[in-house]
Chains A and B, each alone.
Chain A
Amino acid sequence: MNTLNEYSALLYTFLDGDLAPEQEIRLFAALSHDDDLRNELKDALLINRTIADDSGTLFPSAASDEALFARLGFMAKETPLAPVPLVEGTSNLASNLTSRITSPMTAQTLTFGVRLWNGVKRGGTMLLVALLASLLTAWLLRSGNTNYNGGNESLSTFNGFLPPIRSDDGWGVSGLGTSPQPFILADTVVRTITRTIVRNVVQETMPQKKQEAMQLDSDVAINTSQTQGSSTFSQEKSYSATIQPSTTTPHEASSNFAQPSNQVTNQSSNQATKQPSNQALTGISVSVRGLIGRSLIWATLPAKEQFPSNLAVGAMYALSPQHSVGVEAGQEAYFQRFFTRDANEVEYRVEQHPTFLWAGLAYRFTLLPESALSPFAHIVAGATEIGGMGRGMVGFSYTPDTRTMLFLGAELSSLLYQSEGAWYLSPKAGVSYGVSVRF
């Protein structure tokens, strides 16, 4: 390299802070009349400032840190949104679905379904109680996938799937024998809370219902003594009852969409049984559904799921027997693969599988509303924390009575998000199942 001229050498030494006082005088004298030297000083200061800014930004990426620690055999730390090294390979669809099916949340949804089945006969309030109980149990069990050992059931491994068991009072929750494990503790808490609510809240309304039923019984008795076959009578404005020698099917009941109805079945001589919750339906329904899905991008990372993942709740309003609109919200993991750059303009392909909250507007079309079993289509247009989201589901719904609907469908959904100006889609396909309760 070329030798520096005398004043340039003085200039850089001055910038280093090492220039002697007498040399400073010489330098400043030269600066006072030398434009080139002044420009050199200005440029040197600009370069030094730029480099000082740069040196503060030069850090290895989190992926580099983790790769180094992995080489040294250290345990990896959680870095949820940091670029991660690519892992070649394929995910196992069966194990993916199995792990989701056996998740505590899924188990609780199934448990809730069974509770619901029991609760249908006891009225809408009980359904809400059951829902709350299920959610509470799921929350208590949110750690999931815990190994359990002990108890009298020689239960070696518990992966979160809890077969629902109906107890004597009809409101028992899932059990695991007599093993004094956390699940049992959670179960006991839920059972206690449920019973308390049932006794203190729900049963407060029972005397009134019993009185109504008794009044109904007496009226039925009077009317059946006067007529043969079917007859109809009115009891105030909001109730009607039909006396039928033969049993009324749920299908017939479900066809009375949003109509006040009351059915009394004449089981034996002058004996009538009151069916549950026969108040007028408002057209509003609340649903909870589970989601079992798999990314259509070939995901190579496990989902980082948080409670309550793969679950959606919604509220719908029936515009007509076939058309419903409403809102729906849930939480679900979406696999993401996108490109980003670090401070050194090094491009990374990032793969991550975070969980997002989503919410949106929903529309449902029921093809055969009069039928107990009907095809349906359900679409949701919504958003997550990071971008838009769309969902579409087709499947079948089963309506055992006027209030309850069970459904199962195939669902496609996609997350739309942006990274550094580029848009990405993260599509998923799967199965959705759940229950809906009309009010």
Chain B
Amino acid sequence: MTEFARLSDEALSTLLHDESKRETAFRELYGRHKQRIYAYCVRVLGDSAAAEDIFQETFVRFFDAAKTDRTMTNVAAFLLRIARNLCLNHKRDSKPTLTLEDYDIPYKPLEYGSSELLRLITTALELLDYDHREAFVLRKYDGMSFLEIAEITNTTETNARSRVHRAQAKIREILAPYLADIDQHL
């Protein structure tokens, strides 16, 4: 374990002000948070190429902001806010996504494996409206509490919980024929 690995996020963000330690501190912070931010971008956007761009842009903006003298008390939340804003901008600038009513997943016999089920789940996730999808991703992929989700998404804790539960129920509803099929084969 390196010396930097023992430091807190806050201490590392302070070291970003020091040019001689900036790179090492950033690499350490990047290693800690890249998975959560990447998972958020990929699953919220459902577009790997766009997610890759936004993921990188998130850390570039974080680096630019952190180089200044400001102290960050919650690096994870700061990164997520940047990523979320970029994702919202991308959503605003992109074509509207299909709604559940005008989208139908073609049914075909399944090769039963976790990768196939995952593909179906991610497809179903893309069919949710943005708020529900985001709340679901923050809960399931980033492991955030409902209170944290509420703070990030500017809503109430109750509303955040409701969004997550509805997203879960909707995903199950979309996948119902497939899940029944899987159930018969297991």
Give chain A's interface residues, CB within 8 Å of chain B.
1-4, 8-9, 12-13, 16, 39-40, 42-44, 46-48, 50-55, 58-60, 64-65, 67-69, 71-72, 74-75, 344, 346
Partner of A47 from B30, B59, B121, B165 at Cβ < 8 Å: B121
CB contacts (< 8 Å) of B59 on chain A: these are 68, 72
Does the CB pair B60–A71 fall under 8 Å? yes
Cβ contacts A to B, 14 pairs, < 8 Å: A1-B167, A2-B170, A8-B169, A9-B165, A12-B165, A13-B165, A40-B172, A44-B172, A54-B118, A58-B141, A59-B34, A67-B56, A68-B30, A68-B60
Q: How far, in Å, is A272 (CB) from chain B's closest CB?
A: 75
Q: How far is the CA of A74 from the CA of B63 in the complex (A)?
A: 12
Where chain B touches its partner, the secondary structure class is helix
CB contacts (< 8 Å) of A39 on chain B: these are 183
Does the CB pair B140–A55 fall under 8 Å? yes
Q: How far is the CA of A39 from the CA of B168 in the complex (A)?
A: 14
Q: How far is the CA of A67 from the CA of B57 in the complex (A)?
A: 11
Q: 16 new A-B pairs (CB below 8 Å) besides A8-B169, A55-B140, A59-B35?
A: A1-B166, A12-B165, A13-B161, A43-B172, A43-B176, A50-B117, A51-B140, A58-B35, A59-B34, A60-B52, A60-B55, A65-B34, A68-B60, A71-B56, A74-B26, A346-B48
Instruction: Knowing A43-B179, A59-B38, say if A12 contacts B114 (CB, 8 Å).
Output: no
Q: How far, in Å, is B160 (CB) from chain A's closest CB?
A: 11
Give chain B's interface residues, CB within 8 Å of chain A.
23, 26-27, 30, 34-35, 38-39, 42-43, 48-49, 52, 55-56, 59-60, 63, 114, 117-118, 121-122, 129, 132, 140-141, 146, 161-162, 164-172, 175-176, 179, 182-183
Does the CB pair A72–B26 fall under 8 Å? yes
Q: How far is the CA of A346 from the CA of B60 in the complex (A)?
A: 23
Instruction: Knowing A2-B166, A55-B141, A346-B48, say if A50 contacts B114 (CB, 8 Å).
Output: yes
CB contacts (< 8 Å) of B118 on chain A: these are 50-51, 53-54
Partner of B38 from A60, A69, A75 at Cβ < 8 Å: A60
Q: How far, in Å, is A148 (CB) from chain B's closest CB?
A: 31
